[in-house]
Structure 1
């Protein structure tokens, strides 16, 4: 996880009427290191179908595939892991179901980040760093939180929330070189090009 920089969350709501598979293909071709399927609206049958197709796609591209929240779907489709929220299954329980898999968790302050590390998370998402279109009611933490996380937390962390190309330079000032995005890529008219631009900015 330490060498991965760009984590793109493929949110079914943000994808809209487009094909999840085609959006994911463009994201992977554009240079995303990790993709996460976040689908809170489909039936389990549809979710399994989507996840199975994305698993095949990510294997072909040799990239990491994560399922949001649904540990059972991650197990059923042989995803690389799952990403949990603060109100989801505890990390230790998820680890029993998915031994040897990647388990990440969303955190919103230093205390939660430290607990995630103690509980055995492989990585954390920290945010929202900036005001996020995906979670407009959540108060932004500001990029200064990243310096504290860097100093205190030893597992990889991905800054998330309101991040676009222009804000990457601000993040680098706080020694943050990994980002997770939804809107910046998925809501773009050219998903492939936007992914390329974000990856390039992260690597320069």
Structure 2
């Protein structure tokens, strides 16, 4: 499990969108994903206020807890703690990993985004549990990154430098996922799952590509 020397990360993390393309509420889609075996969910919503984020996060926590899956909240440590989530995912513009580690419970998971091997080492030293590395193939879910693809080799370099579990992220589909998985990293996916009419089927296919297992579930 996270925090253990034997833990090598999740094979798949599903990142949410506040309005999944299938038209169903995000908590229903998350329930479908964890029932299909997704071991980790990252709740991401860049538009809602703190109260709305906490309310949704609490509902998602109930869903993931019943399935034994992990819930990570993107950016907002306050929301993660208020909702009883398992962890937070921070970026360069958020609270630092070291500052977060100083105030969270010992088993609280902290993820960090970087594609730079040296910064990855610093994040590991500061107490990060895993890294999100991208955009591997470019992404339209973050402005300005559609044409900035770092490629799977950079994921490998960051993983080797940090010695932390890593998740490749950005433009990952069932077609190119094996290129990332071959580096020893897992995959984090937003659009390919959230834009699907049957998100659970996509989750099952990603897990099949990753070897069929759900990895560490809390």
For the aligned pair, the TM-score class normalised by the smaller chain equals over 0.9
Query: In the alignment, what sits opposite 1:32?
Result: 38
Structure 1 counterpart SS, 2:13 = strand
Measure how far apart 1:17 and its partner are. 5.3
2:180 & 2:37 partners in 1: Cα distance? 19
1:133 & 1:14 partners in 2: Cα distance? 15
After the TM superposition, which residues 119-134 of structure 1 pair with which residues of structure 2 at under 5 Å, given as runs?
A: 119-134=126-141
The change in CA–CA distance for 1:45 and 1:151 in structure 2 (over 3 A counts) is closer
Among candidates 163, 173, 176, match of residue 164 of structure 1: 173
> Structure 1: which 5+ residue stretches go unaligned?
none
TM-score (norm 1): 0.92
2:42 & 2:158 partners in 1: Cα distance? 23
Measure how far apart 1:156 and its partner are. 0.6
Query: In the alignment, what sits opposite 2:187?
Result: 179
Q: Please list every run of at least 4 consecutive aligned residues from structure 1 whose deviation after the TM superposition is greater than 3 angstroms.
A: 13-18
The change in CA–CA distance for 1:9 and 1:172 in structure 2 (over 3 A counts) is closer
The change in CA–CA distance for 1:16 and 1:85 in structure 2 (over 3 A counts) is farther
Quick check: which one's helix share is greater?
1
Aligned residues: 203
2:87 maps to 1:81:
yes
Query: In the alignment, what sits opposite 1:148?
Result: 157
Structure 2 counterpart SS, 1:165 = coil
Higher relative contact order (CA 8 A, sep 6+): 2
Query: In the alignment, what sits opposite 1:104?
Result: 111
